[in-house]
Amino acid sequence: MRHLLSIEDLGADGIEEVLRLTDSFVEVSERRIPKVPTLRGKTVVSLFYEDSTRTRLSFESAAKRLSADTMNFSVSTSSVKKGESLRDTVLTIEAMGVDAIVVRHGSAGVPWQVAQWVDAAVINAGDGWHEHPTQALLDCYTIRERFGSLRDKRIAIVGDVKHSRVARSDVLAFTALGAHVTLVAPPTLLPPSLEGWPVEVSHDLDSVLPKLDVVYLLRMQKERQTEALLPSLREYTATYGLTRDRARLLGEQALVMHPGPMNRGVEIAAEVADLPNAVITRQVANGVAVRMAVLFLLLAAEGDARV
């Protein structure tokens, strides 16, 4: 694999390989000094055209734990503000000698375009509404950590599926590993066509919750909504929010997940996000080890010591 642009680049076997490799990087992360020399001399740059807290820090931390050098590119303080194009920006960065470029952009497809311009490995850290493969990998890892495998697990993805790259990558990854996925959302927050999506759809969260192994909540992505898709947020919360009362419908073992950033009080009640079965910070912790595995797969030369 030269790049990680879509979950489809991996397939079920590739996902399993990343998850197995992640086990060893979780072990590294738990060491007193959580660092290995594997990627010494390599440079990883993050090129973020959109805001990010978790994904950006997570990649940076993953690269550093592998002893790679890191560079950060922030659009708001760069020459993009002076009119430099994406291509010129990318070629400038590559001229400095980088081995991997982690790209986040508001438009779908940009990481594919970047991959055509450079020799470096390109990792998609979120492109528009399209995909966010490393998020899906860390979500798979978190579910597998709790249940051993995703096979036959019942997972509902609830909320603004239409604008969610996380949902697209998660559906591909969860179903590739044998889970059953139900999308739960008002019709206005579902993609216009679900043809080819191996999912069920429901508009009744209360009836879905008791059967689930995982409820996965999405943020209302208002920055991507160009029209009024909901009567009001209060109404959304009343019908689709994981309120305290609704959370009681979940089985004892069921996990509550969220990619972050959360809007407590909208898609998830403040106190539900802190329940013992809410593994939201576990997802973040696993994200670092998963991204170490991805960087290792893309950048470590054949024959390099594993960890």
- What residue ranges bind ligand NCD (CB under 6 A)? 54-55, 126, 132, 135, 165-166, 219, 221, 259-260
Contact present, 119 and 147 (Cβ < 8 Å): no
Nearest-CA neighbor of 136 among 65, 233, 216, 211?
Answer: 216
Q: Which is nearer to ligand NCD, 36 or 133 (by Cβ)?
A: 133
Contact present, 242 and 272 (Cβ < 8 Å): yes
Residue 267 φ/ψ, nearest 5 degrees: -85, -20
Least CB distance from residue 267 to ligand NCD, whole Å?
A: 10
CA distances from 277 to 5, 9, 207, 218, 271 (A): 31, 31, 20, 17, 12
Cβ neighbour number for residue 156 with a 10 Å cutoff: 24
Q: Which is nearer to ligand NCD, 36 or 122 (by Cβ)?
A: 122
Least CB distance from residue 7 to ligand NCD, whole Å?
A: 14
Least CB distance from residue 138 to ligand NCD, whole Å?
A: 9
Q: Which is nearer to ligand NCD, 126 or 241 (by Cβ)?
A: 126
Q: Which is nearer to ligand NCD, 132 or 162 (by Cβ)?
A: 132
Q: Which is nearer to ligand NCD, 153 or 219 (by Cβ)?
A: 219
Residue nearest to ligand NCD (CB): 219
